[in-house]
A and B are shown apart, each in its own frame.
Chain A
Amino acid sequence: MPIKADAVIIGGGVMGCAIAYNLAKEGLKPVVVEKSDIGGEASGSNGGGVRQSARNLKEMPLAMESIQIYGGLHEELGMDVEYVREGNLRLCTSDKELETMRQSVENQKTTGLQLEMLDRKQVLAINPYVGEKVIGASFCATDGHANPLLVTYAFFKKAKSLGAQFYTHEEAREIRLRKGKVTAVVTDKNTFETDLVVDAAGTAGRKVANMVGLDFPMRPLFSEAMITEPYPALFKQMIGHAKGLFYGRQTVHGPFFWGGFVGTEQFIYRQGKPSFHYIGPAISQLVLDFFPVLKDIHVIRMWSGLIAQMSDGLPVLGFAQEVPGFVFATAFSGHGFGLAPVIGRLISELIMDCTTSIPISDFCYGRFSRGSDQECSCQGNAACTTITAICPMKREWLKSI
């Protein structure tokens, strides 16, 4: 017996839950299909950074809006998500790094973001624990971090209480089309009749797009992280590295989270399996260089996650012109967690009103049609043409309730 749904969201991570929450708030009854548990993939293994600095300038308006939403998220969702807004330090160790950082800061300031360059003395005033190597840093006071597990869970719980339905341990296998339009999603257990499908599947987003004959240049990127035993509170800032080699924070519970890249992640696969025995020590070495005070702390757990890395590092958002009823919200390239609340809101706006309060045309699916170096020529999400077939129906339905 097929189940009727206003929208089917494939992927129960932080994006899927945030979209489900916003749609449920608008009065729809969305269904979320998740192949493992809620937040089982990247949403359950990321670093929890909520930052604007060092983002692609195209993402900046989204990030700035997201910070605003994060500020009131615990009240909106009725649950503490351990959000800390104490700034983000991106540490530099050489003059060259400092110069690149200075340039980057100037660029970011053009978008209206408040951030500054600090010398070593100023860095020590904010974080007295940095090592001798550090000669300066960029500092964005409105950045911060949150607990990704709790944010996902909070969105999930609130969405559920508003009428969204969650089907976990169910894998979407097929998206049925009729006359080119989405009509149903078939999982290994159920069939959901719907005219709207949201691809929020993260690393599996490309696979889901393939189900309707679409494709984009994305590949999973291996990333490693570790957590230490709890430690008395030392600092509250999010820590980053000028070249992005490592990043981390002290969580509200006390343990330190450290993640990082050694640069060879794309090439470590041997016979289909990653061989990563040297990444943990490499990250530890960096942490030790930058925070020598932590040399006696114990590492208690390491894990790896997959980043849905796009060729240009930007997500794919919005309607697919080719397939009416198919919406992208995937491939966030490793910095999606901080954007989750705003993406949830914008995708919901797109579905309900065919327009978004913040333009998302830079992230349209069609941007690769002429090669990655050229400006996008598709109409993208700025003018939604194909979804007129869906929107009036939704509006009618909304009026009827």
Chain B
Amino acid sequence: MAPVFIFAEQVRKILQSGEKEIEIPSGARISAAARELIKDHRLRIKTVPIETVTTAEKSAGKIEPPEPQPEEPKIIQDDAASNEAKVDPPAEAIDKISEAAIEDIVERVIARFNEIRGLKPTETTVETGAVLKKKSEHQADLDDLVICRCEEITRGEIKEAIRNGMRTLNGVKRITRAGMGLCQGQTCQRLVAQILSEELGISAAEVDPTTARGPVRPLRLEVFANS
């Protein structure tokens, strides 16, 4: 018997149909997201023999129909590209499932996911280096992000000040001017505090707030002089 995977999408379908019960084939594995959904919506789990899985689930195309199994679990080759010919190891052998088989399953899940989303496989099955590169590009984008809008101070400038030894909002403010503008940090103070907590590895609550300074809002000199 093939092990059956229950994915979040199937659970969602059942939820949409208004049922309060989910049929799960014996020996099936439930994905973490699906398990969470079941838990959240308090679905009753009904374990059924593998043959009686509802047609709705079958039509979702998630569950491999049971296939005639050979006696021994077939160890799936890494380089086997076609999914069609693949046979999953039987449920009894699930504990002994080889790493290669798990990888293969994951690969097929990703391929299926891409199919649903209409993505080309190459877009996500990139090399690790490429992923890292993408990540660093993303990071660079973040560093260009303007945090203090009044003084146009970017995230990168704030991070540099922190790496140079500033440990407080006041310190960062003095060096970078973030929070010195017209709004006096009412917009960016929390963001700077977040960057500080990220960079220093402390919680945002541990970041000392900037010293409160009057006036509460910009005040005309003439008005202030006669106050």
Interfacial residues, chain A to chain B (CB-CB below 8 A): 36-40, 44, 149, 153, 156-157, 160, 166, 168-169, 227-229, 253, 280-281, 284-285, 287-288, 294-303
Contacts and interface: CB of A to CB of B under 8 A. Distances in A.
Given A37-B166, A37-B171, A294 B221 contact: yes
A302 B181 CA distance: 13
B118 interface: no
B136 to A, nearest CB: 25
A280 B224 contact: yes
B214 interface: yes
B219 A299 contact: yes
B170 to A, nearest CB: 7
Contacts of A296: 220-222
A285 B221 CA distance: 8
Given A37-B174, A153-B175, A303-B213, A228 B168 contact: no
Nearest to A255: B180
Q: A-B pairs with the 7 shortest C-beta distances?
A: A37-B171, A298-B218, A284-B225, A295-B222, A285-B225, A284-B224, A149-B174
A109 B174 CA distance: 37
B165 interface: yes
Given A36-B170, A160-B165, 17 more contacts: A36-B168, A37-B167, A37-B170, A37-B171, A39-B174, A168-B165, A228-B221, A280-B214, A281-B224, A281-B225, A295-B221, A298-B219, A299-B220, A300-B215, A302-B213, A302-B215, A303-B213
Nearest to B225: A284
Contacts of A297: 220-221
A239 to B, nearest CB: 15
A297 B182 CA distance: 12
Contact of A287 (B167, B182, B221): B221
Contacts of B227: 281
A303 B182 CA distance: 15
Interface in B146-182: 164-168, 170-171, 174-175, 177, 180-182
B167 A295 contact: no
Nearest to B215: A299
B221 A38 contact: no
B171 A40 contact: yes
A338 B181 CA distance: 26
Q: Is the interface of B mostly helix, strand, loop or mixed?
A: loop
A60 to B, nearest CB: 30
Interface in B181-227: 181-182, 184, 211, 213-215, 218-222, 224-227
10 contacts: A37-B166, A37-B167, A169-B167, A280-B224, A296-B222, A298-B220, A299-B220, A300-B181, A300-B215, A301-B180
A253 B181 CA distance: 11
B224 A299 contact: yes
B168 A295 contact: no
Interface string B81-98: 000000000000000000
Contacts of B220: 295-299
Contacts of B218: 229, 298-300
A149 B175 contact: yes
A299 B164 CA distance: 31
B221 A157 contact: no
B209 to A, nearest CB: 14
A295 B168 CA distance: 35
Contact of A38 (B165, B225, B226): B165
Contacts of B213: 301-303
Given A38-B166, A298-B220, A303-B213, A44 B225 contact: no
Given A37-B171, A149-B175, A300 B184 contact: yes
Contacts of B171: 36-38, 40
